[in-house]
Structure 1
């Protein structure tokens, strides 16, 4: 578990794929990989998500595939059995965290308040996802980290190329990037060169911190 968490902290960027179809996911992930992305989350509400995770896990040896929108323990176990190396959730569910920990796979739950962040930590979460961060900004993250410096944080929701460096400087270990990196229209039109270009931008911004 610690190995993948260290990888998340080292790479800093998790690409979030929430697509209307799993048809072009392989090409999408290949373009992200060419752009330097090594951590990809396929949300569980993507059609065929579990099959996609199973196929993607063998794509590249240094590519780590996770599952997102994991809402309960049953979904956590299903994703792990499909090959997910890490799990993310928009919400906080104790049973889901415990189930994932039992398999040695980190589940990063969604929290917003200091109370929720501490509760997730006490439930056994090794990192929490501050979500949605969009309306609060980097100063909010800094305020949470003040009294809770021991809690590792990922920021998700509205993170863009324009603000990612601010979040990382404010104390985020990593950032989950959705539509500003993997836009559904780009996937549907097969504009993989643009996905690759955006991936390179985010990697450069993250590595500069």
Structure 2
């Protein structure tokens, strides 16, 4: 899949499930629940032990797989070779950007300031992850797009069913959701995570 195709799918999808499992088995179950609930993009975080197993388990699923919590270029390359079609980090890292550019993979770095965003743009980032988004309000996107109208923002952290539509209406090209899925899975198991995923997709389509 070419870089522009991945970016198009991310912006069409609008919802990316950020999967953090206490182990590979939990991450696989959470990912499959999200897919069954209609979320077509999954970010597998490198905080999950043995995350390689999760990539392998989802290889045949009809889902856009990405890697999250990528902190260094070595991890970025590992993720890409494991099948990640996009790479996400909580910060901006020039070396990660270089690796992603080399392989033609979108890099979505976490940024909070205009300075960080401009630097990320200079290194080829097409979508900026606003993280943690719970430190901001949706109006922040409009404030950024004033001086930087071409910046595309994906807020992550603090997104829930009550505010997802506010962020999308404010101009977010997509949102990252995660902690809610873990809570639903812990409280009600697989079916609860599937149902919550469906609700997120319904909200994003309004």
Place the TM-score, normalised by the shorter chain, in its bin.
Answer: over 0.9
Partner of 2:144: 144
1:135-176 CA distances to partner (integer Å, 9 max, x unpaired)? 211012221122111011110010111001111111110000
Name the structure where helix makes up a greater proportion of residues: 2
**2:89 alignment partner in structure 1:** 89
User: Which SS does the other structure have where 2:24 is aligned?
Assistant: coil
Equivalent residue for 1:191, pick from 173, 189, 202? 189
Aligned-partner Cα distance in 2 for 1:25–1:130? 24
TM-score in terms of structure 2 length: 0.94
Q: CA RMSD in A?
A: 1.4
Maintained 8 Å contact 2:20/2:27: no
Gaps of 5+ in 1: none
TM-score, length-normalised on structure 1?
A: 0.93
Q: What is the match of residue 51 of structure 1?
A: 53
Q: CA deviation at 1:207?
A: 1.1
SS in 2 for 1:5: helix
Q: Which residue does the alignment assign to 2:169? A: 169
Deviating beyond 3 angstroms after TM superposition, the runs of 4 or more aligned structure 1 residues are 185-190
Contact 1:43 1:67 in 2 (8 A): yes
Rounded to whole Å, the distance in 2 between the matches of 1:138 and 1:189 is: 29
- 1:101 matched to which residue of 2? 101
- Structure 1 residue matching 2:25: 3-state secondary structure: coil
Aligned counterparts, 1:1-209, within 5 A:
1-58=3-60, 60=61, 62-180=62-180, 182-183=181-182, 185-187=183-185, 191-208=189-206
